[in-house]
Structure 1
Amino acid sequence: MRHHIRFYLGQTLHEVSDLSPTHTVLDWLRDQKGLTGTKEGCNEGDCGACTVMVVRLENGQLTWRSVNACIQFLWMLDGAQLFTVEHLQNPDGSLHPVQQAMVDLHGSQCGFCTPGFVMSMVAYVQNGGGDDPKAINTALAGNLCRCTGYAPIIRAMQQARRIMVQQGNRFDVEKQDIILRLSALQDGSSVDIQNAHGRITLPANSDVLAAVYQESPKATLVAGATDVGLWVTKHLRDLPHVIAVRSAKDLHKLEQRDGGLWIGAAVTYTQALPALATHLPDALETVKRIGSTQVRNAATVCGNIGNASPIGDGPPLFIAASAVLHLRQGDTRRQLPLENYFVEYGKQDRQPAEFIESIFIPDQSAQTIMRAYKVSKRFDQDISAIMAAFAVSINAEGKITEARLVFGGMAGIPCRAKMAEKALVGQKWNTAALEAARTAIQDDFTPLTDMRGSAWYRSTVSANLLTRFFEETAHQGSAQPICLEGWREISHA
């Protein structure tokens, strides 16, 4: 058991024990290390001005992740190497290719957002990103420029990538040193820090996590902190005792098992995306629109479920796919259909000291047609007004044998439209069945009016999404492989 965290800032090893559970990476960099290149903008993980690059050793390979320093707690850096914009220049003092390209192609205007863009760009290339403008836009969707200087930034990214592919950069030269450095930090120990600021526990595995959580059932479980971080930065909440989820190595399992896909509680959306894209093709574009690259690099699939938001994008999709939660309390484990986890707003079927250990997504039947739709005011990095996921099974006679129509944003919890489902089952997938479902769905929900949409808007759109689902799938007659070319994401002004 260690009683301090260990990580590298640039080339310097830091061992820290005098820290608060809520001390953010951003505040530590600016206030204690004087590294003010990392900016504070929104302080909620939305603008990207605070973007830094965190390097970890995973399965013997280095991963380079851009994250939002404003909602990352310092203790989350244990075992990692952190780079800020101040660490990019070459040993001879010359600029990193990304920095030089930003200068040459006028990618900086007022300059406040520039360090964050630069760090996202470096991480993108280090992860093998290509020249495609769409891929670059996705990588930089979490970085906002109020001067609207995006075109020069995209050109700078393309130029820098070409130079880095041809000539390399300092991180290529230092790769083996970084691997050795991070390998030395992997001691397999749990960490427990108790001081005047509170208590921080980083369990090495799920057994330790379960034991500590039973001992302290009022502690706060933290996975990616993309939600909990806002409790601190926006609501100024104290967290007397935090227990990390991602430090438990056995919760990082992501594997295809007999009958489905197993996703451990520590698996991030970035890590899960390739498997989800294969297992649920219609998850691809939806998952790519959950937060930003920085958010997906930190946020976990199970954390998106555990916080039980009625507008989380993951739960409707996984409920439509008949996903099952695996819960653990001490040495006791149980399984629960995901849809039953959500009881009512603010209430879940979870006992004291019980936590989500994993989610299991069954293989989908060849007779199942599936689609998912995200409706939001802004295309990139926006909270859904409505999230819908539909799965319909059709037999050889063209009749619907099962329907799972799931919505987020229509009620206090993500839930199924049971009346609309009933109107479909046993019917052929035709316009008559569609109209019956459109009528029935009005009895399924009484949506609220808020800043993202009125009750009328949500009721209208929910029915219209059924129409869109019909238009995209009715010609199939019986289930056919889903073609990603048919995807068209939605946003409304």
Structure 2
Amino acid sequence: MRTGIRFLLGTETRNLSDVDPTRTVLDYLRDDESLCGTKEGCAEGDCGACTVMLADRDGAGGIRYRPVNSCIMFLPALDGKQLVTIEHLRGPGGALHDVQKAMMDHHAAQCGFCTPGFVMSLATLHRAGVAVDRTEIADALAGNLCRCTGYRPIYDAARSVLAVPRDKTDRAAETSALAAKLDMLDTESESLDMTGAGRRFIAPRSLGELTALLAVHPDALILGGGTDIGLWVTKQRRHLPLLIATEQVPELRRIESSETQLSIGAAVPYADAMASLAALHPATATLLRRIGSRQIRERGTIGGNIANGSPIGDMPPLLIAMGAVLVIASATGERRLAVEAFFLGYRQTALQPGEVLARIEIPKPSPDIHLGIYKVSKRFDQDISAVCAGFALELDNGLVRSMRIGYGGMAATPVRALDVETKLIGAVWGLAIVETAMDAIDQAFTPLSDMRASAQYRRMIARNLLLKFYLEHPAKGETAIRLRLDQPESLTA
């Protein structure tokens, strides 16, 4: 059992023990390493000024480079990885990195506060080595905010440096050298159990070890990617005495696909699961693109989005509509639960002491299933839902054979709209029955008013999303109407 963390800071090895395991990487960089290029803008993973690059093994012999928010990432997350900051980008003799040079050439820095974060986001794309298009650039920069409104020259700089792929030989040599250095850290042979500042952090390396720990410590806080729990420290200043992390548990990091279902481990980050989830149905792609920024998706886990019990989590409405099942593990075995049965109340779930969400099993929709998923928020990028809805429809000769509807933001938990489904099942799929079901939504939900939306607005949106789904998936012989209200205006060339 190791009691300290080992990682690469640039090319130098760091060994840390007896440190607060809930200390953020940002604070460590600025206060301990005097690497002040990484900035704190929001301390909640929104603005991107704190973006750094994290490199680790990809499971296939290569290296995965991830842009992450250092302001909400705890120090133990660095264990066994390489951390790269803006100070580490310059080459031999202080030569500017290609991204830095492009930013200068296109006058892409104004006040400069946000600039290191933009550079690190783009440098991560550059390190991957492939040419990217304008959509990928926009996605990569969605998690970086410029208060000087300097996006145009930043985008031009990105396009100039990322239009051509890097040399494959250089990339292969770089990957090989880094893999060798990571191997020398030798962090995979033992579990991590470190203490500091009255707090304890344990990172087990198997599901059996994890469930055994939870049996002994049922009150421990289970930590996934930390994109939610990180704010408990940076904003709420909460004392977290014992954290048990899932990141190093291989059983929780697997993605397995069969002919009938997709199984995703609860500790799989969104970025790793996006391709598999998008392959289930085209309707999922837009939602996944809008779940946080790329920095958040590289750390935030699918299981965490469910297990935190938030009524406005983006994934549960889709999973409810698709009939997904949650597999819950403990030292005594596993049990299965429908997603909609998992949520008991505001931030309350069906997890019992000693249990952990292990994986999500999603049935693969048949070609006959019409699927729709919609998110409504004040901003397209980097915003929490006011209402999120998922619909799965199956027709039989014009009749509704089955219908599953999931809503988020309409109650204290994500919910399945059973009463609304009942109005539709067995009826002729058409505008008349849809309008009847829309009226049933008013009776089924009593939403709250808050900073994101009023109760009246939420009712109206919930109704109109069902109508939108019908217009996009009309009865046979009718013309589908595609309402692209969930798409941002594209950047002009």
TM-score using structure 2 length: 0.95
The corresponding residue for 2:447 is: 447
The one-letter amino acid paired with 2:22 is: T
**Deviations for 1:298-337, whole angstroms, at most 9, x for unmatched residues?**
0011110010100000111111100000001113210111
Does the 8 A contact of 1:375 with 1:490 survive in 2? no
SS in 1 for 2:271: helix
Superposed counterparts of 1:265-414, under 5 Å: 265-395=266-396, 397-414=397-414
- Following superposition, the deviation at residue 363 of structure 1 comes to 1.3
Deviations 1:30-79 (A, max 9, x none): 00000000000000000000000000012111000000000000001111
Secondary structure in 2 aligned to 1:391?
Answer: strand
Superposed CA offset, 1:256-304 (max 9, x none): 0342000011111000000001113211110110000000000011110
- 1:107-144 Cα offsets, whole Å, 9 max, x none, are 10000000000000011222345342222111110000
Rounded to whole Å, the distance in 2 between the matches of 1:232 and 1:34 is: 22
Q: Which residue of 1 aligns with 2:153?
A: 152
Could you tell me which amino acid in structure 1 is paired with residue 438 of structure 2? R
Task: Give the deviation of 1:188 after TM superposition.
Answer: 2.9
The letter of the residue matching 2:408 is: G
Q: 1:176: Cα distance to partner?
A: 1.4
Q: Which SS does the other structure have where 1:322 is aligned? A: coil
Name the amino acid aligned to 1:244.
A
Shift of 1:339: 0.7
**d(CA) in 2 for partners of 1:75, 1:488:** 41
Q: TM-score, normalised by structure 1?
A: 0.95
Residue equivalent to 1:244: 245
Letter in 1 for 2:442: Q
CA distance in 2, matches of 1:389, 1:344: 20
- Matched to 2:183, the amino acid is S
Distance change in 2, residues 1:19/1:169 (3 Å):
farther
> What is the Cα deviation at residue 486 of structure 1?
7.5
Aligned: 1:182 with 2:179: no
Deviation readout 1:405-442 (Å, 9 max, x if unpaired): 11100000000222211110101110111111111111
Q: Distance in 1 between matches of 2:265 and 2:115?
A: 35
Are residues 230 and 139 of structure 1, via their aligned partners in 2, closer, same or farther at CA, if it must alter by over 3 Å? Answer: same
Deviations 1:375-408 (A, max 9, x none): 000010100000011111111x111011111110
Quick one: distance in 1 between partners of 2:487 and 2:432? 25
Question: What secondary structure, in the 3-state scheme, does the structure 1 residue paired with 2:473 have?
Answer: helix
Return 5+ residue gaps in structure 1 as ranges. none
1:489 is matched with which residue?
Answer: 486
For 1:419 and 1:491, locate their aligned partners in 2 and report how far apart those are by CA, in whole Å: 33
- What CA distance in whole angstroms lies between the structure 1 residues aligned with 2:239 and 2:179? 36
Which has the higher mean CA deviation after the structures are superposed, 39-48 or 247-256? Answer: 247-256
User: What residue is the counterpart of 1:100 in the other structure?
Assistant: 101
Within 5 Å, which residues of 2 pair with 1:465-484? Answer: 465-476=465-476
Superposition map of 1:252-263 within 5 A: 252-263=253-264
Aligned twin of 2:218: 217
Using the TM superposition, give the Cα deviation of residue 475 of structure 1 relative to its aligned residue in structure 2, in angstroms: 4.3
Q: Which amino acid aligns with 2:456?
A: W
Structure-2 change in CA distance of 1:363 and 1:487 (3 Å): farther
Q: CA deviation at 1:218?
A: 1.1
Tell me: CA distance 1:73–1:434, structure 2 relative to 1, closer, same or farther (3 Å).
same
Aligned to 2:51: 51
The answer to whether the aligner puts 1:3 opposite 2:3 as a matched pair is: yes
**Structure 1 residue 368, shift from structure 2 partner:** 1.4
The residue type paired with residue 221 of structure 2 is T
- Partners in 2 of 1:452 and 1:237 — Cα distance? 25
| Contact in 2 for aligned 1:261/1:360 (Cα 8 Å) | yes
Kindly state the Cα deviation for residue 217 of structure 1 after the two structures are TM-superposed. Answer: 1.1
Distance in 2 of aligned mates of 1:292 and 1:20: 27
State how far apart, in whole Å, the 2-side matches of 1:251 and 1:180 are.
26
Inter-partner Cα distance in structure 2 for 1:35 and 1:168: 31
Q: 202-211 or 27-36: which moved more? A: 202-211
> CA-to-partner distance for each residue in 1:434-471, whole Å, 9 max, x for gaps?
11111111111001111111111111111111111111
Aligned to 2:229: 228
The residue number in structure 2 matching 1:86 is: 87
Label 1:178 to 1:166 Cα distance change in 2 as closer, same or farther (>3 A): closer
Corresponding letter in the other structure for 2:413: I
Q: CA deviation at 1:487?
A: 5.9
**Structure 1 residue 171: deviation in Å?**
6.4
Matched residue type, 1:50 = C
- The answer for the alignment partner of 1:134 in structure 2 is 135
For residue 174 of structure 1, give the secondary structure of its aligned residue in structure 2: helix
Taking a change above 3 Å as real, the CA distance of residues 306 and 100 of structure 1, as seen in their structure-2 partners, is same
Within 1, Cα distance between the matches of 2:437 and 2:477? 18
The alpha-carbon distance between structure 1 residues 225 and 310, as it changes in their structure 2 partners (threshold 3 A), is same
Amino acid at match of 2:262: L
Cα distance in 2 between the residues matched to 1:40 and 1:279:
38
Q: In structure 2, give the amino acid aligned to 1:299.
A: G
The percent of aligned pairs where both chains have the same amino acid is 45
State the distance in 2 between where 1:340 and 1:430 align.
Answer: 30
CA distance in 1: counterparts of 2:130 and 2:271, whole angstroms:
14
